[in-house]
A and B are shown apart, each in its own frame.
Chain A
Amino acid sequence: MPWTRDEMAARAARELRDGFYVNLGIGIPTLVGGHIPPGVDVTLQSENGILGLGPFPTEAQVDPDIINAGKQTITELDRTSYVSSADSFGMIRGGHINLSVLGAMEVSEKGDLANWMVPGRMVKGPGGAMDLVAGVKRIIVLMDHVAKDGSSKFRRACTLPLTGMNVVDMIITDLAVFERRSRQMPFALMETAPGISADRIRDSTEAFYIGKGPV
């Protein structure tokens, strides 16, 4: 049984440590905020300029001057500070954010990430993704294991324009978890979804990785 989006987010949330400052990307990564383990205190950063994101507002709390990086209405907390976008990316680029969870279109076995552009088809721009992968200490990717056409999204090399080179530390798909201890090492298969065999992962993954089990 493949993991659901919520289960993938919950798995990513297990990587959070007490005291972490964390940036969550748009889409499935946003769900991670709903699975923060009890007893773990994290501060969520939104790159437009909020440190200390609260939950979504009630109808009465909606304030158009408080939005997150996905342009969604959001609330503040007693710890919140607002900063300019330059200061916010100073936190990111300067290595002050402990962890970021992002979506991806492709990841290569060398940890390259492609998640911003499909030439000739999708013209949206990189937003803050390039800054995040260049500056945040640890990058976790949440993505489907295979694309809609069945092709592997964890590949020998990315075919799409890169967001960053050698920037991914952990990959959580709907079928498996891959991790590497350093950016000089290959990824290792760490976990598989319930009922998903290591052989099935091998068959549906183009990238080279080392065998199942803790590195």
Chain B
Amino acid sequence: MVQKFHPDANSALTGLLFDGMTIAAGGFGLCGIPETLIAAIRDSGVKGITVISNNAGVDEFGLGVLLKTRQIAKMIASYVGENKEFERQYLAGELQIEFNPQGTLAERLRAGGAGIAAFYTKTGVGTQIALGKEVREFNGDSYVMETGLVADLAIVKAWKGDPYGNLVYRKSARNFNPMVATCGRVTIAEVEHLAGPGELEPDHIHTPGVFVQRLIIAVQNEKRIEQRVIRKEVA
């Protein structure tokens, strides 16, 4: 059996990082983000990265740590409103941004991973998002062409994984992780729990092992909450 399991993030990243590379990262906000791998990429010092991720973390956490160290040259994202450092670097011209509508971003990752070069969507027709893109009519409605995305490296966070690379996500921490897992030339998963061979129910696997080349146990699972909202109990 090919050994997908690595003892730590540095081992899993060996030979994969280079300046100017594209990295796709799973997660929505700070939920379901690969904290362990982000920290190892920060420590590696790799520069000029294009990061594909729905969000850019917050100032001190998530992908925000790679912004702080100026390792990111470009973000492909849908919403970066929680990160002041991002806004500062962008307005100062130090960082490039390509905004994608959230569903378009999710579908571009899915398409890239599934070998689909491009697709047509109504999302963004008549807006800035459609500028410079082909717009085509189908059954009387206008659609804009969007292309699939492929990354040099994809990093995802799963709840459970097994030595074959099969992954199970937990609740809304699934979010972008399944599509990101498919779009990497190499995909590394960090898992909260490593299951033994055969312990994951085959019917319940979200990402089959074919998409995952390397696997580690997540050692950073802070799971910081951005907006802790509590219901007031009515007595």
Beta-carbon contacts under 8 Å, A112-128 to B: 112, 117, 123-128
B193, chain A: closest CB distance, angstroms: 13
Chain B residues with CB below 8 A from A46, complex form: 172
Main secondary structure of the interface of A (DSSP, over half): loop
Taking a contact as CB atoms under 8 Å apart, the answer to whether B223 and A86 are in contact is: no
Q: From known contacts A55-B231, A65-B172, A84-B174, infer whether A131 and B81 are also in contact, taking CB-CB under 8 Å.
A: no
Q: From known contacts A48-B172, A130-B101, infer whether A84 and B228 are also in contact, taking CB-CB under 8 Å.
A: no
Among A92, A112, A131, max chain B CB count under 10 A is at A131
Q: Which of B1-9, B122-130, B147-155 contacts A (4 or more CB under 8 A)?
A: B122-130
Q: Which of A4-12, A141-149, A160-168 contacts B (4 or more CB under 8 A)?
A: A160-168
Chain A residues with CB below 8 A from B91, complex form: 123
Taking a contact as CB atoms under 8 Å apart, the answer to whether A56 and B77 are in contact is: no
Q: From known contacts A93-B122, A125-B78, infer whether A65 and B101 are also in contact, taking CB-CB under 8 Å.
A: no
A44-70 CB mask vs B (1 if < 8 Å, else 0) is 001111100001111100111111101
Q: Does B45 contact A (CB under 8 A)?
A: no
Taking a contact as CB atoms under 8 Å apart, the answer to whether A62 and B230 are in contact is: yes
Q: From known contacts A48-B172, A71-B29, A71-B227, infer whether A125 and B123 are also in contact, taking CB-CB under 8 Å.
A: no
Taking a contact as CB atoms under 8 Å apart, the answer to whether A93 and B227 are in contact is: no
Chain B residues with CB below 8 A from A62, complex form: 225, 228, 230
Q: Which of B13-21, B103-111, B197-205, B209-217 contacts A (4 or more CB under 8 A)?
A: B103-111
Q: From known contacts A62-B225, A64-B224, A165-B126, infer whether A125 and B233 are also in contact, taking CB-CB under 8 Å.
A: no
Q: Name the residue on B nearest A161 (C-beta).
A: B128
Q: From known contacts A125-B80, A165-B127, infer whether A84 and B29 are also in contact, taking CB-CB under 8 Å.
A: no
Alpha-carbon separation in the docked complex, A62 to B170 (Å) = 14
**Contact pick for B101, options A66, A70, A83, A128, CB 8 Å:** A128
Chain B residues with CB below 8 A from A88, complex form: 103, 106
Beta-carbon contacts under 8 Å, B1-44 to A: 28-32
Chain B residues with CB below 8 A from A70, complex form: 227
Among B29, B82, B121, B229, max chain A CB count under 10 A is at B229
Q: From known contacts A86-B109, A92-B103, A126-B102, infer whether A65 and B223 are also in contact, taking CB-CB under 8 Å.
A: yes
Q: Name the residue on B nearest A121 (C-beta).
A: B91
Chain A residues with CB below 8 A from B107, complex form: 86, 89, 93
Taking a contact as CB atoms under 8 Å apart, the answer to whether B231 and A56 are in contact is: yes
Taking a contact as CB atoms under 8 Å apart, the answer to whether A123 and B80 are in contact is: yes
Q: Does B178 contact A (CB under 8 A)?
A: yes
Chain B residues with CB below 8 A from A93, complex form: 103, 107, 121-123
Please count how many residues in chain A sit with their CB below 8 Å of the partner chain's CB atoms.
51
Q: Does B94 contact A (CB under 8 A)?
A: no
Beta-carbon contacts under 8 Å, B142-199 to A: 159, 169-179
Chain A residues with CB below 8 A from B106, complex form: 84-86, 88-89
Q: Does A3 contact B (CB under 8 A)?
A: no
Q: From known contacts A64-B224, A86-B109, A126-B129, infer whether A71 and B233 are also in contact, taking CB-CB under 8 Å.
A: no
Taking a contact as CB atoms under 8 Å apart, the answer to whether B175 and A84 are in contact is: yes
Alpha-carbon separation in the docked complex, A74 to B172 (Å) = 10
Chain B residues with CB below 8 A from A152, complex form: none
Alpha-carbon separation in the docked complex, A126 to B54 (Å) = 11
- List 16 A-B residue pairs with CB atoms under 8 Å apart, sorted by A's residue number: A57-B229, A65-B170, A65-B172, A67-B29, A67-B226, A84-B179, A85-B102, A86-B103, A86-B106, A124-B80, A125-B77, A125-B80, A127-B79, A135-B122, A161-B128, A165-B126
Beyond A47-B102, A74-B229, 8 additional contacts (C-beta under 8 Å) are A47-B103, A57-B230, A62-B230, A66-B171, A84-B206, A86-B179, A93-B103, A131-B104
**What 10 pairs between A and B have smallest CB-CB spacing?**
A89-B103, A165-B126, A124-B81, A131-B103, A64-B223, A130-B101, A127-B79, A128-B102, A71-B226, A71-B29
